[in-house]
Structure 1
Amino acid sequence: MKPEEIREVFMRSAKDLLDYDEEGRGPANVAVRVESYELVGKNSILLSLEENIDDTLGAYLYVGDFLVLDKDVVSYSFYDRNTKTLGATIDNPGIIGMIAAEHPEMTVEFDLSFLIKNARDYYDEHGTLIGYPDTCPCFPEEDIVFPAKFSPSDQQRNAVRTILNSKLSYVWGAPGTGKTQMVLATAIMAYMRRGKRVAIIAPTNNSVEQVLRGVLGVIGSDEGFRRMVDPAKDIARIGTATEQFVEDYPYLCEGQSISMLISKRRKEIKLLKEIIQERELDVIASHFRALEVLAKERKQPADRKAKRDMDNQIDQLISEINAVLEENSLYSDLARDLTSMNFEHQLEAATQRLYQRDRPKNSIP
């Protein structure tokens, strides 16, 4: 087939897939059940998810059996992987009221049809440049070296021979039949023995990494392959690697993947710091309530000793409050201003700043 014909087939297939999905029959959506949720503040909601998610790209919030909230109505402010808690903001008081009154079940669904649209758009623009190879490789039998620890079957030998002597080949086999650790690894090493570069491409990140793990395992088990290939220098994982792969093979991943992982970890650290901050503010909340009581009592008639005892209690509470506030740059000015001389005036302002606001992270377990 010519590149133009391949492009036409792909564009038609993409359209059929998108039409199929729009009819509600396609597998484009992935759903994650919301185990529990809590309304916090005027329009914030904390969603405790059944399983972890990578990001909120293409996410829709399904409320009950009929209501679907897209990005125009709901936005996601943060996600904590440790507790699988997703923070969301719903800009519709009516929906918030309905959730509070009816407590419907929820799911977060991810519309993956954007992946098909991205591929369609790419082929629309560049499809005429994509076609079958022009030349046919030629590898004689003596150039085909199987991993030392394996004894290939006739079918595996035939598969490798076909790959290395065809413009395009398709290998099918059930799981565990050696497609990766026998057939693919042998074919790759044959090309590398000739000084060629090999690109391993798969439809998903997990698929790419599954193949890479298999190939790396074969290379590590064969002394001859190890002499030929130094994974740290000769293999590069291009694109967005999964967190686990970056942790297992950081030297294979391009800087973008590591930078993304670092950025994600920094966001998690920032979130944890915010949660700790909210916990600390909860601790001093009782101190503020005690100060309010003491402020009223101090205005009432009392002897000197009672007044002195109340002043001592006030000073002690203010000291404990300041110890927390001084550690927080956002509220360090409150620590400076809150003294026993003017605390009644500052108390009202401090209470408003600290507590009369949405505090969704305060409820994360």
Structure 2
Amino acid sequence: MTTEEIRKVCIDGSQAYYDHLDKNGKGIHIINIHSIEKVKEDKLKLKINSKIFDEETLVFKYLATNQEWSIEGVKIQVYDRDTNTLVVKPKPEVYQKMANANVNDWQIISDLKFLIERVKQWYILNGKDLKLPNQASRLKPPKSDIYLEGNVPSIEQEKALEFIFEEPLSYIWGAPGTGKTQFVLSYAILHYLANNKKVAIVAPTNHALEQIYRGVIKMTDLAGIDRDQILRLGGPSKKFADEFPEVCEIIGLENQLKQLDTQIAIIENILGIDSSSEEEKKLEKVLDKIKDVEDFKNQISDLSNQHGNIKKQLEKYDVKSRSYELKLKSLQRDQETLRRKRDSFFHSISKVFGATKNYDEQIDILLKEEAEYDIKLKKIKKEALKIEEKTKELYLLIQDFKASVGDKKKELKTILSTVDLEERSELSSRTPDYSKIKSAINTKIESIRENRPVYETLATEYNHMSKEALLLKHEALKAERVRLANYSTEERLKNVSIVGATLDTYLYRFREEKLNADHIFLDEAGYSNIIKALTLFNQGLPVTFLGDHMQLPPVCEISKRDIQNDINFRPVMVWDQSAIFLEALFVQKNLDDVVRGYLNGVQAPFQSLKKTNLTGTFRFGKSLANVLQQYVYKEGFCSKLNTETEIILYDVKNPPENRRRGRLNTSEVDAIVNLANSNFTPESSVAILAPYSAQVRAIGSKLSSYQQNNKVLTVHKSQGQEWDTVIYSVCDIGNGKRPWFTDSQNTLSSGLNNINTAISRAKKRLIIVCNPDEWRFFQDQLITGILQAATKKISV
């Protein structure tokens, strides 16, 4: 397949996987709440049972009504990763439900599908650069003078070490205890460091990464290499951070910076000089300036209304004045007409005969009416003159106010330029929408107030300090922060020699900029899937896989059976298949050929990916090693110890009436609870493993303190971890079910890998809990072989 075809498979497979999880409500992590405590009238403190991967993915679910709220409805104010504590501010209607509820009424759901989206985005950006390494290390294999006293590798380990520097793409295959980390990987890294080179260590899980880091740091310490040359990206476990704070990105530095920021903010808040308070004051000042502008604009509007009303009144007076003038002219015309009639010849003759009209009397009436209208006209003209003067005054006043508004706008623009607000561009508009600006400012002020941590409750703790002492403390904290800031991740990446990360962290951090390293090592390669491991192949660097592909394969929510039955799921095989098969994508002609080999269980060819084996274990005794050689490591496996691994068989019978509860085996649950309570504590180096979630839940419900300490797990979740003692609950047959994850001959369930992973977690002692009498009917099974190698049997 071409690079572009591989890229398309990875993008399509990611999308199909995401859509499947989204459609079926999968890909989520349930976080239970142990306690709910009121902090203030609107805030709550929640103690939770596990870590939060990403706060942005959280949904709060009220089980009584199945209502859900995102972080918009339940805002997270503080998350303390070390103590698994959240301080939240729910909306008022949510607060009442949460504050008065039983803790079992609520769940926090973390949607992890965003990790799939991250992988897809990586291939969109970088998939075009994929290629298998074709250049081996620039260094020759190390000479024996690099070996530390008391830590000399075996001939087999030495050959594996040389192999790393001779092949561009290599795979060091070895079971637990064969020295992959302490002798092969560590000496390869020491050789690179001795030549001023940089290496990257990547692993599929946090547990696996920290396990390999412990082995490497042990050797770098012996070699006298300062731990500041080592960096572990991403969030470590508390235990690892406590052991190796110097190498941790978050706990070592960024958490310290965050703690300093919190302390500085507390002091600044008490002193009233914190940045959020200053920003709030600026925003409030902007609101005041907007109010000034709006007040002036309102006054202009009022004056303009008055001006308009007066002009209308003046127009009415003008109309009335013209009507009076017309009336006066009419009266004068009528008078003139009467005078002409009075002085006419006809009127003179009429007087002789005594038949005349009294024109003088009519003229007097008109004169009187004329005088009245003349008075009215003069009066209205006088009033109009006054109104005209007032109109001019209002006009001038409006112009003055408009000039003042211009000045106020300039002041507003000046102060608005000092705050970070997108809406300030609105002022450039000819008709600015001040309501839009005010709304944005009020939203920002509300956000500042809501996001400001609740420092008021801490202020009383500083009552004994004077203002001068607080100022001195403030300066000291700021100086310490400047000092630590010089050791930011970006700066450390330039100076360190060993960089470690999970695959998810690696592909996210280096999606745009490549890691400047000389060699990449992938631990637990068998548990890594193809799609994430391929992200290491866009830099042209030599890559070495380490691991044991006879342990568990990658976890995928879409099974091999689903992929076989639905052609749309074919690209998803890159999420389900182990990284050791990735060369098939570059060798086969098309996806159909790749999927065919995947479904048929074709073994990895190890042609481009060159493999060398480590067959001698310092972990398992001879009897157990012989069993593993017979069933698992058929290419060769032996013990380098003269002692036997302690294998204790707990013989537990599950009565028929208890056998109709799925994969649950209640008798094994009870036996394990008694065993743990009688012989161990939650702090002991012990883990209780089972192949099925139902069994783990049942045990965990009765051993809650063990579960809280991550000591009750499915076999899948134990990958990459080790304990002195492992208690393995077999479950099957005794629960009335045929073996599934315990069937070492079932390739569909990867039963062989599941069992091998479970027993490989034990460093000193394996306690296997089952009914051996029922298992004796199942021959050629790894479980049967382990039972036969038991060093002690206890009937319960």
Normalising by the residue count of structure 1, what TM-score does the alignment of the two structures yield?
0.59
Distance 1:29 1:328 in 2: 50
For 2:138 and 2:254, locate their aligned partners in 1 and report how far apart those are by CA, in whole Å: 41
Deviation at residue 87 of structure 1 after TM alignment:
1.7
Please tell me whether the aligned partners of residues 235 and 250 of structure 2 are also in contact (alpha carbons under 8 angstroms): no
Whole-angstrom distance in 1 between the partners of 2:234 and 2:136: 32
| Secondary structure, counterpart of 1:35 in structure 2 | strand
- 2:108 corresponds in structure 1 to 108
Aligned to 1:77: 77
CA distance in 2, matches of 1:175, 1:268: 45
Q: Look up the SS of the partner of 1:196 in the other structure.
A: coil
CA contact (8 A) 1:73 1:92 kept: no
Identity %: 26
Give CA deviations for 1:88-121 in whole Å, capped at 9, x if unaligned. Answer: 122261x444446664522223222222222321
Q: What is the distance in 1 between the residues matched to 2:148 and 2:12?
A: 42
The one-letter amino acid of 2:231's match is R
Task: Identify if the C-alpha distance between structure 1 residues 98 and 245 changes in structure 2 by more than 3 Å, giving closer, same or farther.
Answer: closer
Aligned match of 1:267: 262
Cα offset for 1:182? 1.9
Q: Does 1:46 align with 2:41?
A: no
| Preserved contact between residue 60 and residue 70 of structure 1 (Cα < 8 Å) | yes
CA deviations 1:188-225 (Å, max 9, x no partner) are: 2333445433222334555444433321211223xxx4
- Structure 2 Cα separation of the partners of residues 108 and 137 of structure 1: 47
Q: Which residue of 1 aligns with 2:55?
A: 56
Q: Secondary structure at the match of 2:124?
A: helix
Task: Count the aligned residue pairs.
Answer: 276
Does residue 231 of structure 2 align to residue 237 of structure 1?
A: yes
Change (3 A) 1:240 1:264: farther
Q: 2:212 is aligned with what amino acid?
A: V
Partner of 1:122: 122
Q: What pairs with 1:1-365 in structure 2 (closer than 5 Å)?
A: 3-24=3-24, 26=26, 28-38=27-37, 43-51=42-50, 53=52, 56-64=55-63, 66-80=66-80, 84-91=84-91, 93=93, 95-99=94-98, 103=102, 105-137=105-137, 143=143, 147-150=148-151, 152-153=153-154, 156-203=157-204, 207-221=208-222, 225-226=223-224, 229-232=225-228, 235-237=229-231, 239-240=233-234, 242=236, 249=244, 252=247, 258-264=253-259, 266-267=261-262, 270=266, 274-277=456-459
**Does structure 1 retain, via aligned residues, the 8 Å contact 2:10–2:123?**
yes
- Aligned in 2, Cα 1:189/1:166: closer, same or farther, shift over 3 Å? same
Q: Which stretch of the first structure deviates more once superposed, 135-144 or 173-182?
A: 135-144
Q: How far apart are the structure 2 equivalents of 1:255 and 1:67?
A: 35
How far apart are the structure 2 equivalents of 1:127 and 1:169? Answer: 22
Q: What is the CA distance between 1:263 and its match in structure 2?
A: 1.0
Distance 1:83 1:212 in 2: 24
Using the TM superposition, give the Cα deviation of residue 146 of structure 1 relative to its aligned residue in structure 2, in angstroms: 5.0
1:134 Cα deviation from its structure 2 partner: 2.8
| Kept after mapping to 1: 8 A contact 2:50/2:84 | yes
Any idea what the Cα deviations from partners look like across 1:266-290, whole Å, max 9, x if unmatched? 4379579654447x8xxxxxxxxxx
Q: Secondary structure at the match of 2:256?
A: helix
Contact 2:77 2:87 in 1 (8 A): yes
SS of aligned partner of 1:170 = strand
SS state at 1:134 partner: coil
Amino acid at match of 1:33: N
Shift in CA distance, 88/241, structure 1 to aligned 2, threshold 3 Å: closer
* Aligned residue type for 1:58: T
Residues 252 and 50 of structure 1, relative CA distance in 2, 3 Å threshold:
closer
What's the CA shift string for 1:211-270, capped at 9, x where partnerless?
33321211223xxx44xx5544xx241644547666655655669961443213543795
* Post-superposition offset of 1:64: 1.6
SS in structure 2 of the partner of residue 189 of structure 1? helix
Distance 1:18 1:83 in 2: 32
CA contact (8 A) 1:240 1:256 kept: no
Contact conserved, 2:56 with 2:71, CA < 8 A, in 1? no
Kept in 1, the 8 Å contact 2:31–2:49? The answer is yes
Q: CA deviation at 1:140?
A: 6.6
**2:48 and 2:84 in contact (8 A); partners too:** yes
CA distance in 2, matches of 1:152, 1:132: 30
Give, in angstroms, the shift of residue 187 of structure 1: 2.2
Deviation at 1:131, TM superposition (A): 2.6
Q: Does the 8 Å CA contact 2:245/2:252 hold for their aligned counterparts?
A: no
Task: Check 1:33–1:97 CA distance in 2 against 1; reply closer, same or farther (3 A cut).
Answer: same
- In 2, distance between residues paired with 1:216 and 1:96? 47
Q: Distance in 2 between matches of 1:41 and 1:211?
A: 45
Q: Kindly indicate whether the alpha-carbon contact (under 8 Å) linking 2:46 and 2:87 is maintained by their aligned counterparts in 1.
A: yes
Q: Give the residue type in structure 2 aligned to 1:78.
A: V
C-alpha distance after superposition, 1:10-66 (max 9, x if no partner): 32342344234324475x433332112145666533322235657634222232263
Q: Which has the larger radius of gyration?
A: 2
Q: Residue in 1 aligned with 2:325?
A: none
CA 1:161–1:53 in 2, change beyond 3 Å: closer, same or farther?
A: same
Residues 1:12 and 1:37: Cα distance change in structure 2 (over 3 Å): same
**Contact (CA 8 Å) 1:146, 1:182: kept in 2 or not?**
no
Please tell me whether the aligned partners of residues 75 and 89 of structure 1 are also in contact (alpha carbons under 8 angstroms): yes
SS at 1:262 equivalent: helix
**Partner SS for 1:133:** coil
- What is the DSSP-based 3-state SS (H/G/I as helix, E as strand, rest coil) of the residue aligned with 1:171? strand
Contact 1:185 1:218 in 2 (8 A): yes
Specify whether residues 267 and 176 from structure 1 end up closer, same or farther in structure 2 by C-alpha distance, changes over 3 A only.
farther
Distance 1:326 1:138 in 2: 63
CA distance in 1: counterparts of 2:48 and 2:109, whole angstroms: 11
Letter of the 2:198 counterpart: R
Q: Gaps spanning 5+ residues in structure 1: where?
A: 281-323, 330-365
Q: Secondary structure at the match of 2:187?
A: helix
Kindly provide the amino acid, as one letter, of the partner of residue 125 in structure 1: L
How far does the alpha carbon of each residue in 1:302-335 deviate from its partner, in whole angstroms, 9 at most, with x for none? xxxxxxxxxxxxxxxxxxxxxx989799xxxxxx
Tell me how large the CA RMSD over aligned residues is: 4.2
Whole-Å Cα distance in 2 between the matches of residues 82 and 230 of structure 1? 26
SS in 1 for 2:188: helix
Q: Distance in 2 between matches of 1:133 and 1:3?
A: 13
Using the alignment, how far apart are the partners of 2:39 and 2:196 within structure 1? 61
> Structure 1 pair 200/100, CA: closer, same or farther in 2 (3 Å)?
closer
| Distance change >3 Å, CA 217–CA 90, structure 1 → 2 | same
**Residue type of the alignment partner of 1:169:** S
Q: 1:326 to 1:139 in 2, by over 3 A?
A: closer
Q: SS at 1:149's partner residue?
A: coil
Counterparts in 2 of 1:6 and 1:200: CA distance versus 1, 3 Å: farther
Q: Partners in 2 of 1:96 and 1:237 — Cα distance?
A: 42
Tell me the distance in 2 between the aligned counterparts of 1:134 and 1:82.
44
Q: Give distance in 1, aligned partners of 2:148 and 2:179.
A: 11
> Are the equivalent residues in 1 in contact too, given 2:37–2:44 (CA < 8 A)?
yes
Shift of 1:141: 6.5
